[in-house]
């Protein structure tokens, strides 16, 4: 009886409900499969994880009756392991792991992009002041400025929505900004942090 025939018989026994058959199969191919995985990943713990995931997949496939590679058990298992190794490297490329050391702290690479409390308060103050100033502008300029800055509309869209030409919309925006600067100066407001 050849190796493939033996495997095929054990697979069949397992599908028929003999739990002992999978134990024989795992033990029989343990060293070969572990060696194969270890040769690719070079890490004992990771090898163990991939070995486990490989056989979990084997078990699920056999129990679901989805195995159809009669006589080619080991190459099939190796292919599963190979795909899991590729998945692992794809994931680790997307999410590179940084480890800190005594001379290098991983926290020097990490930052919190949120504003601190002080900057948040300043930002809110600026927005409140600006909103008050915009309300003092003539209505047509106010409308164009809000559409452009807050609604992120193009001048073409502003022109279509307000029923004026693009040039008129551009002109209103220009005067809105000139008048805003005047209002800022007149009110002695500081609009920077």
Partner 1 sequence: MEKIYTTKKNKHKLVSAKPETIKFLLDYSKSLQVMEADGIKYESNLN
Residue among 78 and 183 whose Cβ is closer to partner 1: 78
Smallest separation, CB 68 to partner 1 (Å): 15
Q: Which is nearer to partner 1, 38 or 76 (CB)?
A: 38
CB of 7 to partner 1, least distance (A): 16
In the bound state with partner 1, the residue whose beta carbon lies nearer, of 64 and 114, is 64
63/119 with CB nearer partner 1:
63
For residue 16, the minimal CB distance to partner 1 (Å) is: 14
CB of 49 to partner 1, least distance (A): 9
The distance of closest approach from Cβ of residue 19 to partner 1 in the complex, given in angstroms and rounded to an integer, is 6
What is the binding site for partner 1 (CB under 8 A)? Answer: 19, 22-23, 26-27, 30-31, 33-35, 38, 44, 47-48, 51-52, 55-56, 59-60, 63-65
Q: Which is nearer to partner 1, 38 or 175 (CB)?
A: 38
Q: Residue 74: which residues within 8 A CB-CB, separation 6 or more?
A: 3, 7, 29, 32
């Amino acid at each position: 009886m050849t190796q493939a025939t033996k495997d095929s018989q054990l697979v069949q026994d397992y599908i028929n409900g003999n739990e002992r058959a999978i134990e024989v199969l795992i033990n029989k191919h343990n060293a070969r499969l572990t060696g194969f995985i270890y040769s690719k990943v070079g890490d004992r713990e990771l090898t163990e994880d991939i070995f486990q995931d490989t056989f979990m997949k084997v078990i699920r496939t056999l129990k679901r009756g989805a195995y159809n590679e009669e006589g080619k058990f080991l190459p099939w298992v190796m292919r599963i392991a190979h795909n899991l190794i590729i998945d692992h490297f794809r994931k680790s490329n997307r999410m590179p792991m940084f480890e800190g050391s005594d001379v290098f702290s991983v926290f020097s690479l990490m930052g919190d992009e949120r504003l601190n409390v002080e900057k948040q308060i300043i930002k809110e103050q600026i927005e409140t002041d600006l909103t008050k100033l915009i309300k003092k502008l003539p209505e047509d300029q106010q409308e164009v400025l809000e559409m452009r800055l807050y609604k992120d509309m193009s001048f073409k869209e502003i022109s279509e929505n307000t029923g004026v030409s693009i040039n008129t919309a551009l002109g209103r925006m220009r005067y809105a900004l000139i008048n805003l600067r005047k209002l800022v100066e007149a009110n002695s407001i500081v609009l920077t942090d």
